[in-house]
Amino acid sequence: MATTLIRNLVFALTVDAHDTVLEDASMVVDGDRIAALGPAAEVEAEFPPDRVDTVVDGSRRGVVPGFVDSHVHLSETLSRGVFPDTLGTRAWVFHWAKPFYAHVGPEDERVSVLLGTTEMLRCGTTCFLDMGSQHDAGITVRAAAEVGIRGVTGRHAADTKPAEIPPGWTDEMVEHHFFPSAEVALEVLEQQVHDWNGYADGLIRCWVNIEGKEPCSPELHVGARALAERLGVGTTYHLATSIEEARVSERKHGLWPVERIASLGGLGSNLVIAHGVAVKDTEVPLLATHDAKVAFCPSTSLKLAKGATAIGKYPEMRDAGVTVGVGTDGVAAAGNINLMRQMYLVAGLFKDARLDETQIGGREALRMATIDGARALGWDDEIGSLEVGKRADFVLFDLDHFEWTPYEDPLMALVWSVSPASIAETWVNGRALYRDGRVVTVDEAALRAEARERAADIVRRAGLDRSATPVTTTLYE
């Protein structure tokens, strides 16, 4: 296997158990793994430059682990800027996102995944947890593998139609979107895991993902996690995504969403709850006891007025030992799939809201965007930090960029000052996928052109109209 020595890196933020920061470090990549990382002299005594295949000058570079996006919708990438930012969560989902998704065909979805994963690599994201394909997980799996990124996906599933089908939902869409029962949904999802988990030499995993909340029955919530456990994989679904959802749950079932799933025996260590913003103090220990994971999506919270700082318990969850990763969510919900922007928000939101500078800051935000995300995905044995033996997933920053000129502490600069603009290279599994300003596995210009064309067609077909599409909802109430 080919070896690469990256010499004299100005810094390496390892995000290991001690948050070790190395200066004047060298790193050796052997095939798909990190074979050495440490002080340059030590590494080069073991791996002399004349005995490796490739030598890279790292003297104007800093290295950090690849970012792990704990919640994304790769089928949503063609919806940028389509929906207004005056919608609450439930109207957004039911009257805008669902009709949009209904018109994303299999080929649109393939382009959407290629586009989304390409942008992710340009933003330093090397691994994702995607909610899944609207058609077949294989579409997402193959497109992501083509780009070369690491990730987890599945197939969208729901089984509970609203009592009244709203305008904008076609019969065809309802038929396609809802399985007739939890049992049928779980059969299909099990087959998807058998078909796609471990694709591309294990780079892509397939889970038992479901949409979650009102469009899914309690049997589907509980059954998805139990099935995932039996198959040795995970599950992710949306839950406690807004205060409105929590209020409806309380009125109909007498319990908040997390309480309800806990009362049904549905929490477990292989569950990643997307959002988890409407959570009461008494629900935090339930998450901790069952080791359920949470994916916090700050951009979506801001755009859809979810109240991350008004009602969110993310700092309390972390204090209680809950693993909290960071997600971008889809580009319609959040506006972007840039995990560095989420890291920036995470580092500041709670300090500001609580007038307390000891709340989650840069160090914690970097951990949440890397190793904690990896732990949420059950992948921290191989990714999430820069350590010998782990997979070579990392980001090299160009320290000659204005964003880094000048700087003193690399962690403070990374979180508070820097954007993807100064990323020089993004590596996944030992391959430099983003380098010299482009993602090497795709024809970027052709992809952008096709994406623009397909996005315009979907918007036209979906018939979303700012003057006619509802901006409030009573669905499922």
* Residues near Zn ion (CB under 5 A): 274, 329
Shortest separation between residue 374's beta carbon and Zn ion, angstroms: 19
Shortest separation between residue 229's beta carbon and Zn ion, angstroms: 22
404, 418 in Cβ contact below 8 A?
yes
Radius of gyration for the chain, computed over Cα atoms and rounded to the nearest angstrom: 22
Shortest separation between residue 445's beta carbon and Zn ion, angstroms: 30
181, 159 in Cβ contact below 8 A?
yes
For residue 16, give every residue at least 6 positions away whose Cβ sits within 8 Å of its Cβ, in sequence order, or none.
385, 386, 387
Shortest separation between residue 32's beta carbon and Zn ion, angstroms: 30
The runs of H, that is alpha helices, within 361-409 are 362-369, 371-376
375, 389 in Cβ contact below 8 A?
no
Shortest separation between residue 333's beta carbon and Zn ion, angstroms: 6
Q: Hey, what are 300's tokens?
A: 């979506």
In a 13 Å sphere around the CA of 262, the CA atoms on its Cβ side amount to 18
Our CA dihedral for 334, 336, 337, 343, rounded to 10 degrees, sits at -80
**Could you give the C-alpha distances from 345 to 14, 339, 349, 361, in angstroms and in order?**
21, 10, 6, 10
For residue 407, give every residue at least 6 positions away whose Cβ sits within 8 Å of its Cβ, in sequence order, or none.
399, 413, 417
Cβ neighbours, 10 Å, residue 336: 17
Instruction: Tell me whether residue 208 or residue 274 sits nearer to Zn ion (CB atom).
Output: 274
35, 47 in Cβ contact below 8 A?
yes
Q: Hey, what are 416's tokens?
A: 């508070």
63, 394 in Cβ contact below 8 A?
yes
Instruction: Tell me whether residue 345 or residue 411 sits nearer to Zn ion (CB atom).
Output: 345
Instruction: Tell me whether residue 140 or residue 385 sits nearer to Zn ion (CB atom).
Output: 140
Instruction: Tell me whether residue 9 or residue 258 sits nearer to Zn ion (CB atom).
Output: 258
Closest CA to 66 of 318, 358, 337, 366: 366
Instruction: Tell me whether residue 332 or residue 439 sits nearer to Zn ion (CB atom).
Output: 332
299, 329 in Cβ contact below 8 A?
yes
Shortest separation between residue 202's beta carbon and Zn ion, angstroms: 25
3-state DSSP assignment of residue 162: coil
Instruction: Tell me whether residue 159 or residue 329 sits nearer to Zn ion (CB atom).
Output: 329
Cβ-in-10-Å burial (0-12, 13-18, 19+) of 405 comes to exposed
Instruction: Tell me whether residue 44 or residue 109 sits nearer to Zn ion (CB atom).
Output: 109
Instruction: Tell me whether residue 64 or residue 189 sits nearer to Zn ion (CB atom).
Output: 189
Shortest separation between residue 71's beta carbon and Zn ion, angstroms: 6
Instruction: Tell me whether residue 212 or residue 362 sits nearer to Zn ion (CB atom).
Output: 212
Instruction: Tell me whether residue 189 or residue 395 sits nearer to Zn ion (CB atom).
Output: 189
Shortest separation between residue 211's beta carbon and Zn ion, angstroms: 9
